Amino acid sequence: MTDFPISRPFLGTVCLLLTSHIAVDARGDDTAGADERPPNVIVIFADDLGYGDLGCFGHPTIRTPHLDAMAAEGVRLTQFYSASSVCTPSRAALLTGRLPIRSGMCSDRRRVLFPNSGGGIPASEITLAEALRERGYATACVGKWHLGHLPQFLPTQNGFDRYFGIPYSNDMDRVNDAPAGKGAFWEPQVAYWNVPLMRDEAIIERPADQTTITRRYTEEALAFIREKQDQPFFLYLPHSLPHVPLFRSPEFADRSQRGLYGDVIEEIDWSVGQVLETLRELEIEQRTIVWFTSDNGPWLSFDSHGGSAGLLREGKGMTWEGGMRVPTIAWWPGTIPAGRIDTGLGSTLDIFPTSVRLAGGELPTDRVIDGYDLTDSLTGKAASPRQQMYYYRGTELMAIRQGPWKAHFITQGSYVGNTRPVAHDPPLLFHLDIDPSEKWDVADRHPDVIEQLRQAAESHRQTVEPVESQLEIPLG
Task: Candidates 261-269, 291-299, 369-377, 408-416: pick the segment binding Mg ion (CB under 5 A).
Answer: 291-299
Catalytic residue flag (residue 146): yes
In the complex, what is the shortest distance from the CB of residue 21 to Mg ion, in angstroms, rounded to a whole number? 34
Q: Do residues 38 and 289 touch, judged by C-beta distance below 8 A? A: no
Nearer to Mg ion, 332 or 391 (CB): 391
> Residue 283: phi, psi to the nearest 5?
60, 40
| β-bridge pairing 40-46 and 288-294 | parallel
193-212: which residues touch Mg ion (CB under 5 A)? none
Task: Candidates 289-297, 303-311, 347-355, 389-397: pick the segment binding Mg ion (CB under 5 A).
Answer: 289-297
Among 43, 48, 309, 347, the residue binding Mg ion under the rule CB under 5 A is 48
Torsional class of 87: left (φ above 0), alpha (ψ -120 to 50), beta (otherwise) = alpha
In the complex, what is the shortest distance from the CB of residue 244 to Mg ion, in angstroms, rounded to a whole number? 10
* Cα-only R_g, the chain: 21
Nearer to Mg ion, 240 or 377 (CB): 240
Nearer to Mg ion, 87 or 208 (CB): 87
Close Cβ partners of 337 (under 8 Å, ≥ 6 residues apart)? 75, 379, 380
In the complex, what is the shortest distance from the CB of residue 144 to Mg ion, in angstroms, rounded to a whole number? 8
Give the other-Cβ count within 10 Å of 224's Cβ: 23
Distance CA 98, CA 120 (A): 15
Provide the strand spans (E) within 123-210: 138-142, 162-165, 197-199, 202-205
Would you give the binding string for Mg ion spanning residues 227-266, x where CB under 5 A is met? ----------------------------------------
Distance CA 44, CA 50 (A): 15
Question: Which 8-state DSSP code applies to residue 54?
Answer: S
Pick from 346, 339, 301: which is nearest to 94 by CA?
346
Whether the link from the prior residue into 151 is cis, omega within 30° of 0, is no
173 forms part of the interface with Mg ion (CB under 5 A):
no
In the complex, what is the shortest distance from the CB of residue 374 to Mg ion, in angstroms, rounded to a whole number? 22
Nearer to Mg ion, 228 or 305 (CB): 305
Catalytic residue flag (residue 305): no
Instruction: Tell me the number of residues near Mg ion by CB under 5 A.
Output: 5
87 forms part of the interface with Mg ion (CB under 5 A):
yes
| β-bridge pairing 233-238 and 138-142 | parallel
Task: Candidates 85-93, 208-216, 375-383, 456-464: pick the segment binding Mg ion (CB under 5 A).
Answer: 85-93
Nearer to Mg ion, 361 or 394 (CB): 394
Pick from 81, 85, 80: which is nearest to 393 by CA?
85
Distance CA 55, CA 356 (A): 31
> Residue 112: phi, psi to the nearest 5?
-140, 175
Q: Do residues 346 and 438 touch, judged by C-beta distance below 8 A? A: no
Nearer to Mg ion, 324 or 356 (CB): 324
Residue of 59, 66, 87, 106 with catalytic role:
87
In the complex, what is the shortest distance from the CB of residue 324 to Mg ion, in angstroms, rounded to a whole number? 11
Task: Candidates 39-47, 125-133, 219-227, 245-253: pick the segment binding Mg ion (CB under 5 A).
Answer: 39-47
Give the other-Cβ count within 10 Å of 448's Cβ: 8
Residue of 66, 146, 149, 408 with catalytic role:
146
Close Cβ partners of 187 (under 8 Å, ≥ 6 residues apart)? none
In the complex, what is the shortest distance from the CB of residue 47 to Mg ion, in angstroms, rounded to a whole number? 4
* Residue showing the smallest CB distance to Mg ion in the complex: 87
Pick from 376, 415, 397, 414: which is nearest to 461 by CA?
397
Among 41, 42, 47, 126, the residue binding Mg ion under the rule CB under 5 A is 47
Q: Do residues 409 and 423 touch, judged by C-beta distance below 8 A? A: yes
Distance CA 41, CA 220 (A): 16
Task: Candidates 81-89, 122-130, 135-143, 182-190: pick the segment binding Mg ion (CB under 5 A).
Answer: 81-89
- CA 351 vs. chain centroid, Å, equals 9
Among 88, 296, 335, 469, the residue binding Mg ion under the rule CB under 5 A is 296
Distance CA 76, CA 323 (A): 19
285 forms part of the interface with Mg ion (CB under 5 A):
no
Task: Candidates 40-48, 49-57, 106-114, 261-269: pick the segment binding Mg ion (CB under 5 A).
Answer: 40-48
Task: Candidates 46-54, 188-196, 211-219, 261-269: pick the segment binding Mg ion (CB under 5 A).
Answer: 46-54
In the complex, what is the shortest distance from the CB of residue 299 to Mg ion, in angstroms, rounded to a whole number? 8
Among 134, 161, 295, 321, the residue binding Mg ion under the rule CB under 5 A is 295
In the complex, what is the shortest distance from the CB of residue 197 to Mg ion, in angstroms, rounded to a whole number? 19
In the complex, what is the shortest distance from the CB of residue 201 to Mg ion, in angstroms, rounded to a whole number? 24
Nearer to Mg ion, 47 or 134 (CB): 47
Nearer to Mg ion, 48 or 342 (CB): 48
Distance CA 351, CA 82 (A): 11
Nearer to Mg ion, 295 or 321 (CB): 295
Tell me which residues are annotated as active site.
87, 146
Can you give the binding site for Mg ion, defined by CB under 5 A? 47-48, 87, 295-296
